[in-house]
Amino acid sequence: MNLALFDLDNTLLAGDSDFEWAQFLISKGVVDRELQEAKNVQFYEQYKAGTLDIYEFLAFQLAPLARHPRADLDAWHREYVERHIRPIMTDKSRALVQQHLAAGDLCAIVTATNSFVTGPIAREFGIPHLIGTIPTVDAKNGAFSGASTGTPSFQGGKITRVEAWLESLGLWWGSFADSVFYSDSHNDLPLMQKVKTPVAVDPDDKLRAHAGQMGWKIITLR
């Protein structure tokens, strides 16, 4: 059995699910356009530079979830997937996922984006496991607090979360003949260096340069 791990934003998706969720909320009048877009630009520049404070980012991104009933959020999310996500799920991405599933590989999406936004997207791809940042939820009514819990699956935190998940299944890295991780971002270098087969997907400049130096495979899913 092999292990296949997939980053989501700008890897399996030809876009960013967090950004698209914010744009959707703007279109609904749920968040202020000027503030949201200014903060998005600020956080994206930090992300590209590798200086993003993940906790500051999560506090901002999760805040809208805490202001609305779960039923409204779930209804909005269904509309969001139809309008914003399906159009950026490329045929090549779907085919790559199906190739790994058909081979019997253990497949998971590993993303810093929160699991409320990304859970239905993982199901759209047919990927059975999701390792995403976890928003805190009231167990009684499903309401979000606006905070996250546990280790965010970002940079080195992705290794921590993947290893905890594997352990929960009674597995570890040595359980697999091959382990592959697909990503577009230099922020994912820790996990890419951990697997046996790192694959750069439409990579940013830093990752492309590193992948070239290391002789890693570089592909496009666009």
Active site residue 178: no
Q: What's the one-letter identity of residue 62?
A: L
Query: In the numeric block, which tokens belong to residue 37?
Result: 């877009």
Q: Which of 9, 16, 18, 105 is catalytic?
A: 9
φ, ψ of residue 53 in degrees (nearest 5): -85, 105
Kindly report the number of other CB atoms within 10 A of residue 128's CB atom. Answer: 12
Reduced to 3 states, what is the DSSP secondary structure of residue 6? strand
Active site residue 105: no
47 CB burial (10 A radius; 0-12, 13-18, 19+)? buried
Tell me which residue of 157, 80, 169 sits closest to 119, measured CA to CA: 80
> How far, in Å, CA of 196 to CA of 185, rounded?
18
> How far, in Å, CA of 5 to CA of 198, rounded?
10
Residues identified as active-site: 7, 9
